[in-house]
Structure 1
Amino acid sequence: MAGLDQLDNPDVELDVLYDLNGLAERLPGGAESVLVFVGQRGIPAALALLLITAWALLRRRPDAAQAVAGVLWAGLAAGIAHLVNVPIRGFVARPRPVDTYPDLHVLVEGNDGHSFVSDHAGAAMAIAVALFLVHRALGLAVFGLAVLQGFVRVMLGVHYPTDVIGGFALGAAVALLLAPLAMAALTPLVALCARTRGLGWIARRPAADGCPSTPRGQQTPERGLAA
């Protein structure tokens, strides 16, 4: 398909692109470096940390198997969104903004390939939606990071705003549409792992009375024995 660059980008999209990119251009050198790090590595690292945090928080819930499966699905959904985007990028074949508008101030070099849709935005939104299904607060936190990721990608000059919006839509669709199938497969797998000696740490259901469960093979002292 002869790309979205042939769609005569609406003035509003170009205005947003140039306005956000202009903000980056006016930053001092040190701040530019921080922006590049945040857009390229910082937010993805924060997303990974939030996934680990979610697992640590949810692994001892009464529904630990399902909750941990939801966290696993969040990570897998990000990867699947990336894979689904490969044929989409090739089909749409939209050039990077700088290829069409060389006067943009591009802060990141080496972003070759097509522009639509944004992998960073898609992966972030997939994680946000999948996590929201099992933990609303963490899901909203990741949603905020996803929005920030989208803004920064446009500020860096490597994506159009519609690339980011398309990435959000793709990530949300993958996380929602495939969630029933993914959870049906992952939940029993996590429950099975949790019952094994070597992988029990993955998801461990607490005892009903809040006390640690009795180790396997250890007898509980009998009550009421005569003195």
Structure 2
Amino acid sequence: MAGLDTSGSNPDVSLLFDINGLTEHSPSWCDQAVRFLGEYGLPVLAVLLVLWCWWGVRRRGTLDAAASSVAAVVWAPLAAALAVGVNIPIRGFVERPRPFVDHKGLEVLEPGKTDFSFVSDHSTLTMAIGVSLFLAHRKLGLVGIGLAVLEGFCRVLMGVHYPTDVVGGFALGTAVALLLSP
């Protein structure tokens, strides 16, 4: 990423500062809620959504509909794990530092991150779950995709990812969920 423009003229950096700037006037309890949701809460909600979908498809009337839906629901956590597994070598190859390393003035809500930034694991994981759920149950899948979008927003708001890290995670999670789905 030697050619990455670190000035304010880069739309990725500008959007990062715009979103992260929302923390400037927010109360500390709100920052803590975003920190908890972005780090733990939304991924856990996505997993709970998978369990809820699994419970719902088990009770379907026809065996054919239930079998395909159960296969799709079982695929959701596998797709998420596979997408994060694919992400690990990508991170090592790209070696993009976290935004707070290169840019001073960011409010970092989750200190202590020392690994690389691109691609966001959290965004990859939640989007893979959301898209996999969409294959099994449209309404719950849309909720899952909504959780993934909220997760990506939280990661940028927390100052630990660039917007393109999140978009890359969305693309990777979607690709793995769709290309390798049963």
Q: State the secondary structure of the residue aligned to 1:133.
A: helix
Larger Rg: 1
Higher RCO (Cα < 8 Å, 6 or more apart): 2
Q: Which amino acid aligns with 2:170?
A: F
**Aligned equivalents of 2:161 and 2:24: distance in 1?**
15
> 8-17 or 164-173, which moves further after superposition?
8-17
Partner of 1:14: 13
**Aligned equivalents of 1:111 and 1:59: distance in 2?**
40
**Aligned equivalents of 1:86 and 1:97: distance in 2?**
18
| Cα offset, 1:68, TM superposition | 0.9
List runs of 5+ in structure 2 lacking aligned partners: none
Q: State the secondary structure of the residue aligned to 2:118.
A: coil
Among all aligned residue pairs of Structure 1 and Structure 2, give the percentage whose two residues are the same amino acid.
53
Pairwise mapping of residues 18-29 of structure 1 onto structure 2 (< 5 A)? Answer: 18-29=17-28
Count, aligned residues: 177
Pairwise mapping of residues 1-227 of structure 1 onto structure 2 (< 5 A)? Answer: 3=1, 6-8=3-5, 11-61=10-60, 62=62, 63-179=65-181, 183=182
List runs of 5+ in structure 1 lacking aligned partners: 184-227
Q: Which amino acid aligns with 2:94?
A: V
| Cα offset, 1:112, TM superposition | 1.4
| Cα offset, 1:76, TM superposition | 0.7
Root-mean-square deviation over aligned CA pairs? 1.2
| Cα offset, 1:178, TM superposition | 0.7
TM-score, length-scaled by structure 1? 0.75
Instruction: Point out the structure with the larger helix share.
Output: 2
TM-score, length-scaled by structure 2? 0.93
Deviation sequence 1:7-27 (CA, Å, 0-9, x none): 225522112100110102321
| Cα offset, 1:102, TM superposition | 2.4
